[in-house]
Amino acid sequence: MLEFIADSQVNRFNALARNRQTKNNNKEGLLSHKQQFTEWMVEHEKMLKHIIIGFEAKPAIQEELFQDIALNIWQALPRFKGQASVKTFVARIAHNILATHVAKAVRTVKADSDIDEQHDIATSDATPYQQLSKAQRQQRLSAAIRELKLEQQQVITLALEGMSYQEMAEILNITTNLVGVRLQRAKASLMKRLEAK
């Protein structure tokens, strides 16, 4: 009987020790996860915000999208195996969220003409594009990008972030040749839109 009690005590102590070790490992894992997430967000925040602006005009919705992307990065971080660069991994998550956002917006409302109205400026000797301040040109470019087809929006926003054709292909899950074709079409369409305004 004493042997049974002693064995059960030992088993109980071993179980408690394993639980403590598991809790310590979980805490260390969570701290590591949190630290990794923070580093990624600090490093790629500017890129993410530029990409978001290419898809959404309204600041409040831009902030919601940023939060949604951050949440998805947090959830996906444990699945990151280093097969792609962190930049590519983060941008792919952002583009998946933004593609879903655009698809929902197209189904519900096809608006945002407010921005176009803000950009009507009287002409003088300079071209209309030259009359605009840098901030206005940035807004005009963003508005023109949002008018492009989704596949063109994706490649042009990634190109503006300095991504290579290979990185864009990995993010969008297409070939580098298709990236080139889409990018050329996007540039041509973007130029037409900017010249027409």
Closest CA to 36 of 95, 89, 97: 89
**Which is more confident, 43 or 196?**
43
DSSP 20-76: HHHHHHHHHHHHHHHHHHHHHHHHHHHHHHHHHHHH---HHHHHHHHHHHHHHHHHH
Centre a 10 Å sphere on the Cβ of residue 162 and count the other Cβ atoms it contains: 9
DSSP 8-state symbol, 124: -
Average confidence score pLDDT of the chain:
78
Tokens of 120: 């009507």
Residues in Cβ contact with 66 at an 8 Å cutoff, skipping those fewer than 6 apart: 48, 49, 52
Q: pLDDT band at 117, cuts 50/70/90?
A: very low
Q: Measuring CA to CA, which residue among 29, 105, 43 is closest to residue 73?
A: 43
What's residue 115's pLDDT?
Answer: 41
177-190, pLDDT tens digit by residue?
Answer: 999 999 999 999 98
Instruction: Give the single-character DSSP code of 120.
Output: -
- For 18, the token pair is 């394993």
Q: What is the pLDDT of residue 142?
A: 85
3-state class of 112 per DSSP? coil
Helix (H, G, I), strand (E, B) or coil at 168: helix
* Model pLDDT, residue 196: 79
Kindly state the DSSP code that residue 161 receives in the 8-state scheme: T
In the numeric block, the tokens 């803000």 are attached to: 118
Confidence of residue 102 (pLDDT cuts 50, 70, 90): confident
Model confidence pLDDT, tens digit, residues 7-65? 555 555 556 556 555 555 555 666 788 999 999 999 999 999 999 988 888 899 999 99
